[in-house]
Amino acid sequence: MSAPRVVVSGLGFVTSIGNDQRTVATSLRELRSGIERVDFLPGTDLPVKVVGTLKGFDTAAAQWPGWTWPEGYTFPRDLLRGMAPHGLYALCATEQLIADAKLTANELTADDTGMFCASAGSPRMLRQFVNQIHDSCGARIPPMGVVSTIAGTLNFNLAAHYGVRGAVAGFVSACASATQALGYACDEIKLGRQRRVLVIGGEDVNFESIFPFHGMRALSRNPDPARASRPFDRARDGFVGTGGSAALLLEEAEAAQGRGAPIYAELVGWGQSADGYNVANSDPDGRGLAVAMQRALASAHVAPAEIDYINAHATSTPVGDASEARALHTVFTSGGAHPAISSTKALTGHGLSFSGAMETAFCALALRDGFTPGAANLDDPDPVCEGLNLPRATLPTGPRMVLKNSSGFGGSNVCLVLRRWEN
Amino acid sequence: MINAPVAQKRVQESLVGFPPRVTSSYLAFAESGDLTNLDVVVLGVLQFYLAKKPAVPLEEMAGTTRLVEDLGCDSLTMMDTVFMVETLFDIKLDDTELTQLGTLDELRAHLRRHVQGHTASAA
């Protein structure tokens, strides 16, 4: 018996370019940026001036009672008290996902419905939590301190809240986390262990979650929100951070069709590798990423020439983008394949642990709606990109086959192959 | 007793998002020391943290209303309430004593004793 086909059958977004599917799709088509100037620490002059902001959310207050979010979402207080800011974002994205996927309560709580999450935890909440314990000499320990702060906070809270009874896990391979979660969710379904898996990524967006990356000089110091995130451009000087959440439902194709769920795309295969090179920097030759791409293509039984669009990991760092460009040459250009390539981080900023979920969801929209996001902010491509097909504007034609790349600290590389849904 | 500037600071740091009646009663207590305002703050904080919103405000409920059985006040709700009250009034509450509080009247009386005792010792 052949393995079941796996499809994307629901989406939810809380991103810098939109908090609903329609706004996100419009932003992608029209290359609208979600990046704005911010003052992380009022009264200081930090060298990092821009971030991909979330509109309609205010989570600046220390605790949830002071947070606000867009109308239309109602959450019980006993849920919010265990949540970090990105827990709130993830709740909103998951509510959208459940409605979009037409998931019933019975389906959500079925034994073969799982949930995989990607989150780096909440540095802000952790700082507050630990400070409170220190300041009180151990006398005052917020009871929900652990579950609201550590890296599993999303899967702890969301799985319990929604009554998930299938496989539940958290992924912590930094910026490759959510893509890896999608890959393993795909395997769970193909192996017949789960019928569907909700895959949810989330990140805070505040001083504590973003600014520490300046310690390794990974952030752009360009103060112009329209120009700071410029993947593959010669003038790139680092990434622009962002937070939010994206949620996808992966499901057996037959089950999704049987429920009348919307089918955005098929997840055909995936591959992963590690650089074996450096804790933070990519291997300059891009060897590891090339291996991951080749494994993904082999897993999907797809030739490089069949890929129409690549949603690159490219975060706008000098070393990382060059490494990915070389990997793309190795797998595609050197063999005569010239798929369109763009990094949508030019619009959103880099969503760290949740970027792979966000960008895979973007690919799903592109596959269903028939457009190919252009490479925004790319004025003067790095010479290493010579020969890569980097369309500056969004193409009105949609891809049939898409490759999504992600890389994370420690050299983890994860790639997914998605195909336009054809029954 | 906490003074007005300190109370203003705590409102901005700790009471963001709480109902205006809790905030105004807290400031009024800082100003006058009137214990009825303290009661409003304590019950308002508890009500805010309760997982299930009560049908009527706690202030309007009988003093014999039971915290656990009638209001569904679990240990997490009680800890959130205690931490907030400790922060607002500069007091330290004993865990063992708290577990013996069964009703709204007992909670009010316990907090009155502590806050008054703290005020007296501070004076």
Domain ranges of chain B: 4-122
| Locus of tokens 């805010």 | B48
Burial of A161 (0-12, 13-18, 19+ CB in 10 A): middle
Any CB–CB contact under 8 A between A130 and chain B?
Answer: no
Which residues on chain A are in Cβ contact (under 8 Å) with B14? 62
Average pLDDT over residues A159-169: 98
Q: What are phi and psi of A248, to 5 degrees?
A: -130, 145
Closest to A114 (Cα-Cα) out of A286, A252, A304: A252
Q: What domains lie within chain A, and their CATH numbers? A: 6-418 (3.40.47.10)
Sign, CA dihedral A358-A364-A370-A374, equals positive
Q: Strand A6-14 and strand A50-52: pairing? A: unpaired
Average pLDDT over residues B2-18: 90
H-helix or E-strand spanning residue A198: strand A196-203
Q: What are phi and psi of A406, to 5 degrees?
A: -145, 145
Residues 67-106 of chain A whose Cβ lies under 8 A from any Cβ of chain B: 67, 76-78, 81
| Alpha-helix runs per DSSP H in A176-276 | 177-190, 207-210, 253-259
Report the C-alpha gap between A263 and A224 in whole angstroms.
38
Contact B17 A65 (CB under 8 A): yes
Chain B residue with minimum CA distance to A79 = B51
Contact B16 A140 (CB under 8 A): no
pLDDT at A254 over 90: yes
Residues 6-65 of chain B whose Cβ lies under 8 A from any Cβ of chain A: 13-14, 16-18, 48-51
Confidence of residue B119 (pLDDT cuts 50, 70, 90): low
Q: How far is B31 from chain A (nearest CA, A)?
A: 24
Burial of A366 (0-12, 13-18, 19+ CB in 10 A): buried
Residue-averaged pLDDT of chain B: 90
Contact B79 A142 (CB under 8 A): yes
Closest to A325 (Cα-Cα) out of A289, A295, A355: A289
The per-residue pLDDT for B122 is 55
Contact B48 A65 (CB under 8 A): yes
Instruction: Return the amino acid letter for A87.
Output: G
Percent of chain A with pLDDT over 90: 93
pLDDT tens digits for A24-33?
Answer: 999 999 999 9
Question: Do A384 and A322 form a contact (C-beta atoms < 8 A)?
Answer: yes
Please count the residue pairs, one from chain A and one from chain B, whose beta carbons lie less than 8 angstroms apart: 37
DSSP A18-74: BSSHHHHHHHHHHT---EEE--SSTTS--S--EEEPPTT-B--SSSGGG-B--TT--
| Catalytic center residues of A | 175, 313, 350
- On the CB side of B39, CA atoms within 13 Å amount to 14
Average pLDDT over residues A244-252: 98
pLDDT at A176 over 80: yes
Closest to A177 (Cα-Cα) out of A234, A98, A118, A95: A118
Contact A78 B76 (CB under 8 A): yes
Report the C-alpha gap between A413 and A410 in whole angstroms.
9
The per-residue pLDDT for A157 is 97
β-sheet bridge partners, residue A18: A15
Report the C-alpha gap between A348 and A202 in whole angstroms.
14
Which residues on chain B are in Cβ contact (under 8 Å) with A77? 48-51
Choose the closest CB to A81 out of B17, B18, B80. Answer: B80
Q: How far is A380 from chain B (nearest CA, A)?
A: 47
The second-level CATH assignment, the architecture, of B4-122 is Orthogonal Bundle (1.10)
Average pLDDT over residues B12-24: 92
- On the CB side of A138, CA atoms within 13 Å amount to 0
Average pLDDT over residues A171-197: 98
pLDDT greater at residue A113 or residue A82: A113
Which residues on chain A are in Cβ contact (under 8 Å) with B95? none
Confidence of residue A2 (pLDDT cuts 50, 70, 90): confident
Average pLDDT over residues A327-332: 98
The per-residue pLDDT for A62 is 86
pLDDT at A166 over 90: yes
pLDDT at A1 over 80: no
Question: Do A412 and A180 form a contact (C-beta atoms < 8 A)?
Answer: yes
pLDDT tens digits for A9-61?
Answer: 999 999 999 999 999 999 999 999 999 999 999 899 999 999 999 999 999 99
pLDDT tens digits for A93-107?
Answer: 999 999 999 999 999
Report the C-alpha gap between A78 and A57 in whole angstroms.
20
Any CB–CB contact under 8 A between B95 and chain A?
Answer: no
In this predicted structure, which of A54-58, A65-69, A110-114, A404-408 has the lowest mean pLDDT?
Answer: A65-69
Distance in angstroms between the alpha carbons of the first and the last residue of chain A: 18
Confidence of residue B121 (pLDDT cuts 50, 70, 90): low
The per-residue pLDDT for B85 is 93
pLDDT at B123 over 90: no
The per-residue pLDDT for B72 is 93
Question: Do B38 and B112 form a contact (C-beta atoms < 8 A)?
Answer: yes
Helix (H, G, I), strand (E, B) or coil at A88: helix
- On the CB side of A33, CA atoms within 13 Å amount to 21
pLDDT at A421 over 60: yes
pLDDT tens digits for A312-321?
Answer: 999 999 999 9
DSSP B77-99: HHHHHHHHHHHHHT----HHHHH
Q: How far is B120 from chain A (nearest CA, A)?
A: 23
Contact B76 A142 (CB under 8 A): no
Distance in angstroms between the alpha carbons of the first and the last residue of chain B: 8
- On the CB side of B93, CA atoms within 13 Å amount to 28
Average pLDDT over residues A144-160: 96
Average pLDDT over residues B64-82: 92
pLDDT at B66 over 90: yes
Report the C-alpha gap between A70 and A84 in whole angstroms.
17
Report the C-alpha gap between A262 and A421 in whole angstroms.
10
pLDDT at B116 over 90: no
Give buried/exposed letters for A255-287 (b at 16+ CB in 10 A, else e): bbeeeebbbbbbbbbbbbbbbebeeebbbeebb
Choosing among B80, B93, B98, which should be mutated to test the A contact, i.e. which has the most A CBs within 10 A? B80
Choosing among A78, A88, A133, which should be mutated to test the B contact, i.e. which has the most B CBs within 10 A? A78
Helix (H, G, I), strand (E, B) or coil at B101: coil
Report the C-alpha gap between A327 and A312 in whole angstroms.
11
Confidence of residue A8 (pLDDT cuts 50, 70, 90): very high
Contact B51 A140 (CB under 8 A): no
pLDDT tens digits for A361-372?
Answer: 999 999 999 999
Q: What ipTM did this prediction achieve?
A: 0.78
Q: How far is B50 from chain A (nearest CA, A)?
A: 7
Helix (H, G, I), strand (E, B) or coil at A402: strand
Residue-averaged pLDDT of chain A: 97
Give buried/exposed letters for A62-98 (b at 16+ CB in 10 A, else e): ebbbbbebeeeeebebbbbbbbbbbbbbbbbbbbbbb
The contacts of residue A330 (CB under 8 Å, 6+ apart) are A286, A287, A290
Which residues on chain A are in Cβ contact (under 8 Å) with B49? 77, 81
Residue A353 neighbours by CB distance under 10 Å:
31
